[in-house]
Amino acid sequence: MQIYVVRPGDTLWGIAQRYSISPDLLAAANEIPNPDRLVIGQAIVIPTVTQEPRPMIETGAYLDVADTGAASPAVVDRVGIHLTYLTIFSYAVNRDGSLTPITDESAIQAAYRQRALPLMVLTNFENGTFSQELATAILSSEELQGTVLDNALAIMEQKGYRGLNVDFEYLGAENRERYNEFMRRAAARLRPLNLLLSSALAPKTSADQPGTLYEGHDYRAHGETNDMVFLMTYEWGWSGGPPMAVAPIDQARAVLEYAVTEIPRNKIMMGIPLYGYDWTLPYVPGGQWARSISPQEAIGLALRYNTSIEYDYAAQAPFFNYIDEEGRYHIVWFEDARSIQAKFNLVKELGIRGFFYWVLGRDFPQNWLLIEDNFVVRKYGSGQINL
């Protein structure tokens, strides 16, 4: 696999000639909209014909059906060949143990077309955010937990889900052991049915890391109970915070190096973002939030404003600045082929189960090319899940 970074004076034809491939193939593989205009600093993946042996891994991706809507099956069909799991977001738990329904049937069917196992997501989402109060109400009652699991299992059987992904966030220390017990109850219900159990956990670097987001998540307990643990190694740079890389490699490494001391490596799934952010400067805490953009949108912005893309080698992430039509300064941090390759290298180095994405629906063609070049993606048959 090779990644070429565009330099001043480069043309697509010249790059293609250098690597003895067709300019049309190069443009199509990287979805370059205008072959006559490249961005200095843009990372281009050079497709390869022959490959060395590649390790087999598992991959997953969240699909927020409230966001993708009627386009959900098309989104899944486009990239599902690269996925082991499709994690469909989300069934919100209500205070009486019922689950707020979502329109997920077509996404589930698309997952099966692509031989990706659909996983149902449970969240403590209420009034547009994760609710500690809601989680406490559910996790403090064995009866309500039983109702939640009854309802989840009924939906899973009805719709064909092959596993459950629990994404309870901002629990606080008081819910740590309660959450562990809920996951043990879930495992006792799911395992006899040959259904997978996983959870999405905050990016921690120590067992006693302070903060409401972290204190309720017990890496060791979830590693003992679950089939998989999805580590949310992203959102260091987030829409309401100061500009920085969304998933800096040094921060992700610190989380994973701690995780392998608490969770079996064959259960760890590393989180990777399929998006970036466009901040309007100067950044003011509590002020205007950054706009979420896809990597392809980022390239389009750099092209539109005729600016060069730079690369932070410590964070292993690209960024650029521009001035919009109203004279406002912006900075954009996003992902490109180089930053994704750095994450894939970390997955290989640590020997973990694989990785997952938040979130489908964002255009990023180079990412899928790199999967093909680096790994063989595990696919399950239509029969039993063999863990």
Look at residues 194, 251, 186, 170 and name the one whose alpha carbon lies nearest to residue 221.
186
How far, in Å, CA of 36 to CA of 209, rounded?
Answer: 50
Q: Which of 171, 98, 167 is nearest to 134 (CA)?
A: 171
CA distances from 252 to 185, 247, 362, 371, 372 (A): 30, 7, 21, 19, 22
The answer to whether 196 touches 226, Cβ cutoff 8 Å, is no
Is the peptide bond prior to 90 cis by the omega test (within 30 degrees of 0)? yes
Q: Is 101 exposed, middle or buried (0-12, 13-18, 19+ CB in 10 A)?
A: exposed
Query: Contact at 8 Å (CB) between 39 and 375?
Result: no
58, 105, 157, 169: the catalytic one is 169
What single-letter DSSP state applies at residue 99?
B
For the question of residue 143 being annotated catalytic, the response is no
Q: Which residues are known to be catalytic?
A: 169
